[in-house]
Amino acid sequence: MTAPRSLPRELLHLAWPVLIAQAAVMANGVIDTLMAGRLSPVDLAAVGIGASIYATVFVTAMGVLLALTPVVSHHYGAGRYAEIGADVRQCAWLALGLSLLAFAVLKNPDPLLAFSRLTPEVELKVRAYLDGVAWAVPGVLFFRVYFGFTTGIGRPRPVMVFNLLGLALKVPLNWVFMYGHFGFPAMGGAGCGWSSAVIMWAVATLAWLWCRRDVDYAPYAVFARFDPPRPKALRELLVLGLPMGATFMVDVTAFTFMALFIARLGPEVSAAHQIAASVAVFVFMVPIALGSATGVLVGQALGARDSRRARHAGLLGLALGCGVAAVVGSAIWLGAGALARTYTTDPQVAAAAATLLAIVAVYHVADAMQAVMAQVLRGYKRALAPMVIYAISLWGVGLGGGYLLGLTDTFGAARGAAGFWIAAVASLVLAGVGVFAYFLRISTQTMPAPATTST
C-alpha cells in the first residue's frame, strides 16, 4: 500500500476541480442576475426573490443527499468498495422522494410569498420563475447523488466538466427563453428558471451515462444490480442527512427570509440586495471548495483509522479558507462601487449596492470560517450539534437581529438592507466560533492517547 500524499498537495488536488465546478454553478446565478438586470429592476428583483425561494427548497434537499459524501469517503478510506455502490443506489431512492416533495413546494409557494408582501407585478414574475425552475429539481438532485459519490472517492474532476458544460449552455438558453426565440414566448426573468431546468436534466443524464461507461467506476458496481429501497440503509443516510439538510435549511432560510423582508422596502432596494447577495454567493465558491475537499480528506482518513491526519486536514483547510477569504474580502471592499456598476445601469441601485458590498467584504471572511468547519464536521459524521449552533446563530442573531436593525427602530433608526447584512455578519462569526470549538473537542477525543512508559 502506497503512503498517502502530503496533506497540502492532496487538499489542492481535490479542491481545484471542486472550485471550478462551484464557480460554474455560481456563475449561472451571476448570469441570471446580469441578464435580468438588463431587463428592468422588477425582473431583477423577481429573479432574486424567486432564486431565494428555490434555494430554500433545493439546498435543504441537497443537504440531506450530501450525507452520501462522508459515507462514501469512510468506505473508501477503509477499502469497502462494494458498499459504496449499494449506498449510492439507496441515495438515488432518497433523491427521488425529495424531488417529488421539492417540486410540490415550488409549485405552491404561497406560504413563502406571504412574507415578502410583493407588488402584484413582481409576484407574477416570481411565480412564473418558480414554475420553470421547479422542473430543474429532479435533475439537480440526481446530479447531487453523482456529486456525492464521485467526490467521496476522490474524483471531483468529472463534476467540474459537467458543471462547465451546464455553464456553457446558460447564456444561449437564457437568451432563447427570456427574449423569445425559435418559437418560444418571451418570458423575461422567468426564462432563467426554464433554462435551468433544461440544463440540469441534460447534465444529470450525461453524468450518469459517463458513470456507467467509465471503467474507473467499475470497482464500485453502482449499476451491478437493481436494489429496492432498504430501510436500514436509508435510515443510516437519513440519520446523518436530516440534520445536515436542516442545517442547510437554517442557513438558506436565513438568507431567503432576509431577501423576502428586504423586498418590503421596494424593488430598488431589493435589486441592490440581490447584487450584494450575488457577489457573496459567487465568492463563497472558494471556501466551499476548500471545505468540500477537506471534508473528503477527513472522512477518508477516519475510514483508514488515522485520526491525527483527519485533525491536521481540518486545521489546514481552515487556515487556507480564511486566508484566501481575507484577500477576496479586501478586493470587494476596495472595488465595491465599480463592482456594483457592472450589475446595473440604475445609479440609485448601484449606490445602494456599493454600500452593501462593503459589508459583504467582512461577511465573506466569517462565511469562510463556518463553511470549512461545517464540512469538516460532516467528514466526522457529526451533524446534530452543528445544526443547533446554526439555528441559534443564523435564525436568532442573523434573521432576528436583522429584522430589528433593518425594519424597526429598536436600536435607533432602521438601517434597511444594511441592518440585515450587519446582523448576518454577527451571526456567521458566532456560528464559526461555535463549530470550530466543537471541532477542536471531537477531533481531540478521536485521537489516540499518547503512549506511556512504565518505570
User: What gap in Å lies between CA 190 and CA 131, rounded to an integer?
Assistant: 8
User: What gap in Å lies between CA 272 and CA 353, rounded to an integer?
Assistant: 4
User: What gap in Å lies between CA 191 and CA 174, rounded to an integer?
Assistant: 6
Calculate helix-pair angle for 336-343, 347-379, nearest 10 degrees: 100
Reading phi first (left if > 0) and then psi (alpha if -120 to 50, else beta), residue 62 is in alpha
User: What gap in Å lies between CA 166 and CA 146, rounded to an integer?
Assistant: 15
User: What gap in Å lies between CA 126 and CA 263, rounded to an integer?
Assistant: 12
Q: Chain-wide mean pLDDT for the chain?
A: 86
User: What gap in Å lies between CA 13 and CA 74, rounded to an integer?
Assistant: 19
CA 206 to chain centre: 22
User: What gap in Å lies between CA 345 and CA 327, rounded to an integer?
Assistant: 28
* 279-295 residue pLDDT tens: 888 888 889 889 989 99
- Does the model's pTM come out above 0.85? no
CA 159 to chain centre: 15
* 302-332 residue pLDDT tens: 998 889 999 999 999 999 999 999 999 999 9
In this prediction, residue 32 has a pLDDT band, given cuts at 50, 70 and 90, of confident
- DSSP string over 390-420: HIIIIIIIIIIHHHHHHHSSTTSS--THHHH
How far CA 52 is from CA of 171, 261, 265, 321, in Å, comes to 20, 12, 17, 25
* 47-97 residue pLDDT tens: 877 887 887 788 888 889 989 999 999 999 888 888 999 999 999 999 999
In this prediction, residue 416 has a pLDDT band, given cuts at 50, 70 and 90, of confident
Please determine, for residue 450, whether its predicted confidence score (pLDDT) is greater than 60: no
- Only one residue has cell 407588488, namely 119
CA 11 to chain centre: 20
Q: Which of these, 165, 182, 187, 147, lies nearest to 28 by C-alpha position?
A: 165
* 208-250 residue pLDDT tens: 999 999 998 999 989 988 889 999 889 989 998 899 888 888 8
Q: What angle is formed at CA 87 by the lines to CA 84 and CA 91, rounded to 5 degrees?
A: 135
How far CA 296 is from CA of 140, 193, 224, 408, in Å, comes to 21, 32, 25, 44
Tell me what pLDDT residue 357 has: 93
Please determine, for residue 2, whether its predicted confidence score (pLDDT) is greater than 60: no
